[in-house]
């Protein structure tokens, strides 16, 4: 793989295993699935590669087969604001794809990743012809709205522990990120980028959550022991914000 080529130029057909990791294909009828699989492309992203940029016309509905992405944008002060991370199995940008509007955010690879893209015309063909895909999309949009409302509320809280707990709980949303299991492969530096805190404060927050037996820090990531405990931390913060 040449590092001189853009991610767009590194497009290729997905392997059979990569197709098996795209969970929404399972809701389609056989002829719908055949059309989607024939159109899907993947790209091998390097750390720092942009999957899409603010202002560019929408071309794909994007998903992550493996690796880690962040969705971010620059504010009026020129600072980068991270909205959320995307673990393997997640698909993002459906609202932009439905409206065919320019991207209002950047999607960037935090590590070496395999990114999938469904061309926008095939995406709209599925919307026009597949009832099960429309049902899937309604669930996706509903969960996405809840995710961003919660993120907006928690970002106003000063507690690093609450912010880290919210970010971790969001990764284990079974609708947005199916197949996550109990283990999240993420470094403390990557989590710091996503939460918007220093690595030291993230380290302290993770240690506190481990002391509460909500998580266990492991080599190369962490294991969630009590997802409800992480969500209760989130709920407490939301209550205080009312």
Q: Look at residue 128 in the predicted model and tell me its pLDDT.
A: 97
**Region 207-228: what's the mean pLDDT?**
92
Residue pLDDT, tens place only, 110-120: 999 999 999 99
Q: In CATH, what number is assigned to the domain containing residue 223?
A: 1.10.10.10
Range with lowest mean pLDDT among 27-36, 66-75, 76-85: 76-85
Helix 120-129 crosses helix 30-39 at what angle (to 10 degrees)?
170
Q: Look at residue 18 in the predicted model and tell me its pLDDT.
A: 96
3-state secondary structure of 65: strand
Whether 120 and 202 share a structural domain: no
Q: Look at residue 237 in the predicted model and tell me its pLDDT.
A: 40
Whether 69 and 177 share a structural domain: no
**Region 4-31: what's the mean pLDDT?**
91
Whether 82 and 198 share a structural domain: no
Whether 71 and 178 share a structural domain: no
**Region 32-48: what's the mean pLDDT?**
96
Structure tokens given for 152:
């907006």
Whether 168 and 122 share a structural domain: no
pLDDT above 70 (res 9):
yes
- Which of residues 108, 127, 150 is at a domain's end? 150
**Region 100-110: what's the mean pLDDT?**
93
pLDDT above 80 (res 240):
no
Residue pLDDT, tens place only, 128-156: 999 999 999 999 999 988 877 776 666 66
pLDDT above 90 (res 100):
yes
Nearest to 187 by CA among 159, 156, 219: 219
How far apart (Å, rounded) are the C-alpha atoms in residues 41 and 14? 6
Whether 54 and 93 share a structural domain: yes
Q: In CATH, what number is assigned to the domain containing residue 130?
A: 2.60.120.10
Structure tokens given for 141:
């949009």
Quote the mean pLDDT of the chain. 87
Whether 55 and 96 share a structural domain: yes
**Within a domain: 2:** no
DSSP 71-121: EEEE-TTS-EEEEEEE-TT-EE-HHHHHHTPPPSSEEEESSSEEEEEEEHH
- Which of residues 93, 128, 150 is at a domain's end? 150
Q: Look at residue 236 in the predicted model and tell me its pLDDT.
A: 44
Q: Look at residue 5 in the predicted model and tell me its pLDDT.
A: 65
Whether 140 and 182 share a structural domain: no
Helix H or strand E encompassing 55: none
Q: Report the chain's terminal Cα–Cα distance, integer Å.
A: 51
Whether 196 and 85 share a structural domain: no
- Which of residues 150, 168, 203 is at a domain's end? 150
Q: Which domain holds residue 125?
A: 8-150
Domain count along the chain: 2
Whether 121 and 36 share a structural domain: yes
**Within a domain: 28:** yes
């Amino acid at each position: 793989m040449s590092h001189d080529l853009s991610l767009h130029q590194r497009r290729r057909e997905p392997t059979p295993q990569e197709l098996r990791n795209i969970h929404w294909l399972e809701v389609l009828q056989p002829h719908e699935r055949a059309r989607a699989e024939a159109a899907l492309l993947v790209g091998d992203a390097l750390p720092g590669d942009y999957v899409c940029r603010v202002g560019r016309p929408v071309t794909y509905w994007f998903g992550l087969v493996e690796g880690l992405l962040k969705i971010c944008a620059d504010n009026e002060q020129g600072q980068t604001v991270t909205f959320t991370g995307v673990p393997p199995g997640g698909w993002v940008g459906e609202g932009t794809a439905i409206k065919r509007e320019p991207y209002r955010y950047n999607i960037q690879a935090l590590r070496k990743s395999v990114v999938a893209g469904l061309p926008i015309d095939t995406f709209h063909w599925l919307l026009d012809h597949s009832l099960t895909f429309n049902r899937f999309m309604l669930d996706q949009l509903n969960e996405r709205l809840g995710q961003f409302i919660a993120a907006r509320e928690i970002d106003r809280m000063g507690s690093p522990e609450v912010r880290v707990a919210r970010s971790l709980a969001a990764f284990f949303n079974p609708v947005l990120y199916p197949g996550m299991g109990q283990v999240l492969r993420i470094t403390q530096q990557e989590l710091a980028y996503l939460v918007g805190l220093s690595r030291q404060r993230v380290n302290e927050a993770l240690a506190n959550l481990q002391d509460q037996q909500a998580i266990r820090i492991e080599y190369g990531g962490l294991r969630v022991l009590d997802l409800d405990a992480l969500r209760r931390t989130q709920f407490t913060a939301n209550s205080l914000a009312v």
